[in-house]
């Protein structure tokens, strides 16, 4: 950056004023950061005549210990008389010593400003992490690795009917395991969650909700067996363990960030190194924070949660939702399913079994294990029979659904 005043001086060939600007600039900004551009601008103008052949005036001192304010003032006077690059370079070194405290303060202020500037950007980033979509399964599906799912076109049977598949967002970056193997790429650290075709998730949703609502008394009975013993009788969700692992990683990165900042303040690392490392750590923190978002406010169930669950379940089963034509509507699914977590070998269904269920996003509460079931190829075939608009699949497979309430 070049200051307007300097540009004007150069245009008007006002050498005297330029000299005064540079003589004072190291008092204003002893880091020279703000004037570097001006200095180069003048250096590049060969016909300017600012820089003179060096003439020895006050003898230049080599020992830093002798660089005091009176020495500083005399070499400033010398610079007006003989503006040599040698003298100016020397002055930049002396300024670092006589203005050491000021440099510290300036660096601190600049770093603070940098953080302030980045804050709104990071806040904005954070807000965009929750998935707000018109698509039911983009809202509900979460990957074992913490990411949400992208929805992509799978197959078009006719012009007006398309089927979709859902893919972990991390895999949209890395590619799936099978795609990587095909291309001879390493699969280390690549998310292993499967692609989820829409018909699989639809079939599973129906089976899970039928399992819970078809026999209300039976559901209440088995829930009461477990929930009746309080937290001692329940198995907390595995999702809690996943969350705590991410939490630990996040804490570690935040610690690294603090250390880095301290090192920079103490001038232990050069600005360029700090800048590079800072970006690195910030990126990791942002990634982990994004993953944390996917867990919403899931927490371990307390005694109050467990008895509350049983109470809600009893009330809901007094008036359970009744599917029309044997099919639960998207609205019912939205209401009673908090979310579905996709693992390599199973799907965890986190249900919200309460008459007040509203399908809140990212609010899985305190899930506890209820039961598990297997969706079979027969279930899948039956679903396809009810939905002839879907092209039949040849990828029938058993799907494990673990149900949490």
CB nearer Zn ion, residue 170 or residue 198: 170
**42, 143, 190, 209: which one contacts Zn ion (CB under 5 A)?**
143
Strand partners, 164: 153
User: Which pair of structure tokens corresponds to residue 251?
Assistant: 């804490």
**Distance (Å, rounded) from C-alpha 117 to C-alpha 78?**
41
Contacts of 34 (CB under 8 A, 6+ apart): 1, 25, 28
- Taking the complex as a whole, the smallest distance from the CB of residue 397 to Zn ion amounts, in Å, to 19
- Taking the complex as a whole, the smallest distance from the CB of residue 146 to Zn ion amounts, in Å, to 7
Cα angle 116-117-123, degrees, rounded to a multiple of 5: 85
Cα-only R_g, the chain: 34
Q: Which stretch binds Zn ion (CB under 5 A): 5-13, 164-172, 201-209, 219-227?
A: 164-172
Backbone φ, ψ for residue 327 (5° rounding): -115, 125
- Taking the complex as a whole, the smallest distance from the CB of residue 149 to Zn ion amounts, in Å, to 8
Q: Which stretch binds Zn ion (CB under 5 A): 67-75, 157-165, 185-193, 238-246?
A: 185-193
**26, 145, 350, 403: which one contacts Zn ion (CB under 5 A)?**
145
**Distance (Å, rounded) from C-alpha 250 to C-alpha 244?**
10
Residue 391 · residue 163 · CB < 8 Å: yes
Q: Is 138 left (phi over 0), alpha (psi -120 to 50) or beta?
A: alpha
CB nearer Zn ion, residue 25 or residue 141: 141
- Taking the complex as a whole, the smallest distance from the CB of residue 188 to Zn ion amounts, in Å, to 15
The site that binds Zn ion (CB under 5 A) totals a number of residues, namely 7
- Taking the complex as a whole, the smallest distance from the CB of residue 148 to Zn ion amounts, in Å, to 9
Q: Does 190 bind Zn ion (CB under 5 A)?
A: no
CA 143 to chain centre: 15
Q: Which stretch binds Zn ion (CB under 5 A): 38-46, 187-195, 210-218, 276-284?
A: 187-195
Q: Does 193 bind Zn ion (CB under 5 A)?
A: yes
- Taking the complex as a whole, the smallest distance from the CB of residue 168 to Zn ion amounts, in Å, to 3
Q: Does 168 bind Zn ion (CB under 5 A)?
A: yes
- Taking the complex as a whole, the smallest distance from the CB of residue 169 to Zn ion amounts, in Å, to 7
Task: For the sheet with 149-158, list strands across it.
Answer: 149-158, 161-168, 196-197
Q: Which stretch binds Zn ion (CB under 5 A): 114-122, 193-201, 218-226, 298-306?
A: 193-201
Place of tokens 């705590």: 244
Count of alpha carbons within 13 angstroms of residue 292, beta-carbon side: 16
- Taking the complex as a whole, the smallest distance from the CB of residue 342 to Zn ion amounts, in Å, to 7
Strand partners, 153: 164
Neighbours of 148 (CB within 10 A): 22
Q: Which stretch binds Zn ion (CB under 5 A): 108-116, 142-150, 324-332, 346-354?
A: 142-150
**Distance (Å, rounded) from C-alpha 231 to C-alpha 227?**
7
Task: For the sheet with 347-351, list strands across it.
Answer: 141-143, 337-342, 347-351, 399-404, 369-375
**Can you list the positions of beta strands (E) in 218-357?**
337-342, 347-351
CB nearer Zn ion, residue 148 or residue 204: 148
- Taking the complex as a whole, the smallest distance from the CB of residue 359 to Zn ion amounts, in Å, to 23
Q: Which stretch binds Zn ion (CB under 5 A): 23-31, 97-105, 166-174, 360-368?
A: 166-174
Measure Cα distances from 263 to 267, 281, 285 in Å: 6, 14, 19
**Distance (Å, rounded) from C-alpha 300 to C-alpha 58?**
75
CB nearer Zn ion, residue 200 or residue 335: 200
**170, 198, 253, 380: which one contacts Zn ion (CB under 5 A)?**
170
- Taking the complex as a whole, the smallest distance from the CB of residue 141 to Zn ion amounts, in Å, to 10
CB nearer Zn ion, residue 330 or residue 344: 344
Letters for 264-303 (x = contact with Zn ion by CB under 5 A, - = none) are ----------------------------------------
CB nearer Zn ion, residue 172 or residue 329: 172
Q: Does 191 bind Zn ion (CB under 5 A)?
A: yes
- The contact set with Zn ion (CB under 5 A) reads 143, 145, 147, 168, 170, 191, 193
């Amino acid at each position: 950056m070049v200051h307007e005043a300097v540009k004007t001086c150069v245009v008007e060939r006002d050498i005297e004023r330029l000299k005064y600007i540079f003589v004072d600039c190291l008092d204003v900004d002893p880091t020279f950061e703000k004037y570097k551009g001006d200095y180069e601008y003048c250096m590049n103008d060969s016909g300017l005549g600012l820089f003179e052949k060096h003439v020895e005036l006050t003898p230049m001192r080599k020992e830093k210990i002798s660089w005091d304010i009176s020495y500083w003032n005399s070499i400033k006077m010398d610079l007006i008389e003989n503006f040599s690059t040698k003298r100016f370079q020397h002055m930049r070194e002396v300024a670092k010593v006589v203005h050491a405290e000021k440099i510290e303060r300036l660096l601190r202020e600049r770093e603070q400003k940098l953080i302030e500037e980045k804050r709104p950007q990071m806040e904005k980033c954070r807000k965009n992490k929750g998935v707000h979509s018109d698509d039911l399964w983009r809202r509900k599906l979460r990957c074992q690795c913490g990411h949400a799912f992208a929805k992509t076109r799978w197959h078009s049977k006719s012009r007006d009917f398309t089927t979709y598949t859902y893919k972990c967002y991390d895999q949209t970056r890395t590619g799936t395991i099978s795609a990587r193997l095909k291309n001879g790429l390493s699969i280390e650290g690549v998310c292993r969650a499967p692609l989820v075709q829409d018909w699989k998730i639809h079939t599973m949703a129906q089976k899970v909700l039928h399992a819970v609502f078809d026999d209300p008394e039976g559901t209440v009975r088995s829930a009461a067996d477990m929930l009746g013993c309080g937290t001692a009788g329940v198995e907390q969700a595995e999702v809690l363990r996943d969350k705590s692992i991410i939490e630990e990683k996040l804490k570690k990165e935040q610690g690294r960030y603090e250390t880095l900042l301290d090192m920079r303040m103490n001038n232990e690392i050069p600005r360029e190194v700090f800048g590079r490392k800072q970006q690195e750590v910030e990126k990791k923190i942002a990634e982990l924070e994004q993953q944390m978002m996917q867990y919403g406010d899931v927490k371990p169930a307390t005694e109050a949660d467990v008895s509350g669950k049983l109470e809600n379940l009893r009330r809901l089963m007094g008036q359970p939702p009744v599917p029309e034509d044997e099919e639960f509507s998207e609205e019912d699914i939205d209401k009673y399913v908090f979310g579905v977590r996709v693992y390599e070998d199973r799907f965890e269904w986190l249900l919200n079994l309460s008459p007040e269920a509203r399908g809140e996003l990212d609010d899985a509460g305190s899930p506890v294990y209820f039961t598990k079931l297997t969706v079979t190829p027969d279930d899948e075939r039956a679903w396809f029979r009810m939905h002839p608009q879907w092209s039949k699949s040849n990828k029938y497979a058993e799907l494990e659904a673990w149900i949490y309430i």
